[in-house]
Structure 1
Amino acid sequence: MLQKLSADNHRQPFKGPITITRIQPSDIYVEKKADSAFGPLSIIDHAVMKKGITIKMHEHVNDEILSYVWKGTMYHKDSRGLEEPVSPGKLMMMNAGYSFWHEEKVKNDQVEMLQIFVRPRETNLEPNIQFHSKAISNREWYLMVGPEDSNAPLHIRQNVYILDAHPKKGDVLEIPVYEGFQPFLYVLDGEIAINDLMIKKQEAVTDLEDPLPPITALTHTTVVLFFVDMNAPMSLDGTISGNKKKLV
């Protein structure tokens, strides 16, 4: 049975020059959960950062973080001295491990992006950072992130796959099946239909029993699709991902 997470479930822990809409994936359940997570998928922060903002150097521990910029350019700097712009089509995966420090800056246009927090399989792994460039207008599914033994361009230390697609109005997309993994589909922008169910920006959908049916784009749309091993072992020691307390 299809289950939808509506946008009116979300809270905004930060508002102003930096506005974060925090998507707690477990809110998709009919029966409310104390933990924010959907398996090891802990938090999706849908952030809007205005020109001139700097998020000063800060530490993450035991978080696996995908930065997915949809609009604008975010400038990354870390304690290793690496400086890299992250923009649409340029993906960044921080595998924080036992310690990773970084800074984010918006120099020019406003940035809209997702920061996706996943709980790693275990505590205090080696820190790492990865980048990957992809097309920004793929109408079919593109595999961005996968476990270390997968053929995904970015690796995560967890049994999670992350794909995206940018269907145009009227496009119909079949949802792939990853055996043993639960789908979680998030609409970053636009609107889709699954059967008679409409899912708009900042909303999500899953089916806990069956594969997801095909989606139809009702407008030009950007969607991010997760496949999650709901029984995967995970660390709860993450700076962000390990926090089980939900916003109420």
Structure 2
Amino acid sequence: MLKKIDNSKKSGNQHISILYPGLELTDHDTGYYTIGRIDQAHIHGGALIKMHPHVNDDILSYFRSGKVKHTDSEGFIEYITPTKLMLMKAGKLFYHEEAVLEEQEGLQIFIRPGEKDSKPEVIFQELEEVHSINEWRLIASPEKEKTSLTLSSQTWIYDMQITPGKTFKLPQDVNEDYHCLLYVFQGSITVNGNIGLGKGESLFIKDENISFETSDRAELVLFVTNTKSPYYDGGMYSGNQK
């Protein structure tokens, strides 16, 4: 199965576009297995998102430009940048605040946790480079031996920036039990020679071998979910909104 989600299916406002991926496939679940919600945000410096709660969400802050100050209910303060990603595992209840110090664009990714009411935890990961050029980079997974950003459900998140003149495929370790959502953060790509995806658009991939390329340059984020694994779908933002 290959199924495209275009930008007309999103909600939000001039600053944030919100994707509930499940709505493209069904009318009873806003998420797609463990993938609850994806926000693409572009916020000017000086904005303040005041202290607010999260419950039972695994939230990856994946910013490609700008600088954001994170403050949470545990008194912890840290800065999120294009080379420092943050995974906030809200668990039972967690509060945080975000101050946008420099104009920011990136993704706020809401993944469904493996179980309800786990202990809250915040993890930061310093990347060696902003972009992984023409090679898939695993940035978050359920496997501690592979990623510092450890998700609590069977979900894997990769990124890559691709350049013209080459053809690309999915990572080799994506197997038949896994379903994928390929998201274009910047630029545009062509999949299998006839499916065009632009900025903010995405593609469901199930039981398909795909290839893709770009005519300019594109930044991609790949979400992989194990459809046979358990997850909790009652989170404040990642959960089913129906």
> TM (normalized to structure 1)?
0.90
Task: Map 1:168-179 to 2 at 5 A.
Answer: 168-176=163-171, 177-179=173-175
2:74 maps to 80
Of 87-96 and 163-172, the range deviating more from structure 2: 163-172
The superposition leaves residues 96-146 of structure 1 with CA deviations (integer Å, 9 ceiling, x where unpaired) of 111211110112x31111111111111110110101111212111100010
2:17 maps to 21
1:215 maps to 212
Letter in 1 for 2:181: F
The superposition leaves residues 53-87 of structure 1 with CA deviations (integer Å, 9 ceiling, x where unpaired) of 10011111110000000111111111222211111
2:3 maps to 3
Q: Contact 2:31/2:239 (CA < 8 Å) preserved in 1?
A: no
Q: 1:52 aligns with which of 22, 46, 53?
A: 46
Of 59-68 and 73-82, the range deviating more from structure 2: 73-82
Letter in 2 for 1:231: K
SS, match of residue 150 in structure 2? strand
Count of matched residue pairs: 237
Q: CA RMSD in A?
A: 1.5
2:63 maps to 69
Counterpart check, 1:230 vs 2:227: yes
Q: 1:130 aligns with which of 105, 115, 123?
A: 123
In structure 1, the gaps of 5 or more residues are none
Counterpart check, 1:121 vs 2:118: no
- 2: distance between equivalents of 1:150 and 1:227? 18
> TM (normalized to structure 2)?
0.92
- 1: distance between equivalents of 2:202 and 2:24? 8
2:196 maps to 198
- The alpha carbon displacement at 1:149 in A equals 5.1
1:145 maps to 140
SS, match of residue 8 in structure 2? helix
- 1: distance between equivalents of 2:115 and 2:131? 35
In structure 2, the gaps of 5 or more residues are none
